Amino acid sequence: MNRNFKEWFSTFSPSISDYSYYTDFEKILKNVDSIKVELNILNSLIGSNNISHDFIDLVKKYPDTLKCIPILLAVRSNEIFIKDKDKELIYNFNKPNMNFSDYGIFMEKTGLFSLMEKSKIKDLVDYVTGVETGLDSNSRKNRGGHIMENLVESHISKYCQEHGFEYFKEMRSRDVELKWNIDLGDISNNDKVIKRFDFVIKTNTCAYLIEANFYSSQGSKLNETARSYKNIAIEMKNVEGAEFIWFTDGYGWKSARNNLEETFDNMKHIYNIKDLNSGILDEIIV
């Protein structure tokens, strides 16, 4: 099949985002609810005239409130590292490893005392809900990947049901080798590198190893992704009983267009969403 990269690339999609892509409020509210009691206890410090003293008294009585502090700084960790002049400190907020007064110093120097003392925030539950919403935006890339995987799987599932084939999700190269006696040593460096495929379709004559991803934003990582898949495609040419298929799409590829074109020129099976919708599986799976 002779294809023109420029024509193919012109059919890429700007987005596949559904309503659930932007913010996962169910997860956000679950995270907030898990520390809601402790946050409400800390609310008593808002507007305090002697916040350092009141904080130490409070955490002595309610030490579990310490676990809320990292998220106030938009940090998802029980430990926070601090370089303080000639000292290196690690504050543990799950299992206190310092005096409560030291945690007071942490609150002061990070600006949290100022935030609460001067009533710049009114309610820590609402504040943390906002922080969680902001942090959740970092998960959009993963959600975008899952949306693409779900889209590809819907086509794979329909095709396999119609033709009586099996397909498998998230299958490691080693498992492919053991299940069907296919030598994938070239792509796994003789099992030194674990390679996991998003999907594997097994027909009577071939195992189709499938990767699926979507990139809505640009970045240098895409150049490496294109090179990596090109190398896999080249190495797969010597493998008997298996084919490598890559479904990718998204305007993020604009920044790595040249690398993608090089991969396109070296891959037998590289397709986008338009190809899927046009029934490409019927043409390539036998």
In the chain, ranges of CATH 3.40.1350 domains: 165-284
Q: Which of 131, 137, 125, 141 is nearest to 24 (CA)?
A: 137
Where do runs of H (alpha helix) occur along the chain?
5-9, 25-33, 36-42, 51-61, 69-72, 100-109, 112-117, 124-136, 140-163, 173-180, 185-188, 221-236, 257-266, 273-277, 280-284
Cα–Cα distance measured from residue 204 to residue 213, given in angstroms and rounded to the nearest whole number = 27
pLDDT value, residue 189: 63
Cα–Cα distance measured from residue 171 to residue 238, given in angstroms and rounded to the nearest whole number = 20
CATH number of 165-284: 3.40.1350
What tens digit of pLDDT does each residue of 91-149 get?
999 999 999 999 999 999 999 999 998 878 899 999 999 999 999 877 777 666 688 99
Do 131 and 71 meet the contact criterion of CB atoms below 8 Å apart?
A: yes
C-alpha dihedral (47, 49, 54, 55), degrees to nearest 10: 60
Neighbours of 265 (CB within 10 A): 11
pLDDT value, residue 188: 63
pLDDT value, residue 190: 60
pLDDT value, residue 144: 65
Q: Name residue, tokens 């049901």.
A: 161
Cα–Cα distance measured from residue 264 to residue 229, given in angstroms and rounded to the nearest whole number = 10
Cα–Cα distance measured from residue 161 to residue 94, given in angstroms and rounded to the nearest whole number = 50
Q: State the SS3 of 77-107.
A: CCEEEEEECCEEEEEECCCCCCCHHHHHHHH
The list of the chain residues with pLDDT below 70 reads 1, 142-145, 188-193
Show Cβ contacts of residue 182 under 8 Å, excluding neighbours closer than 6 positions.
176, 207, 239, 240, 241, 242
Do 42 and 122 meet the contact criterion of CB atoms below 8 Å apart?
A: no
pLDDT value, residue 21: 73
pTM, two decimals, is 0.72
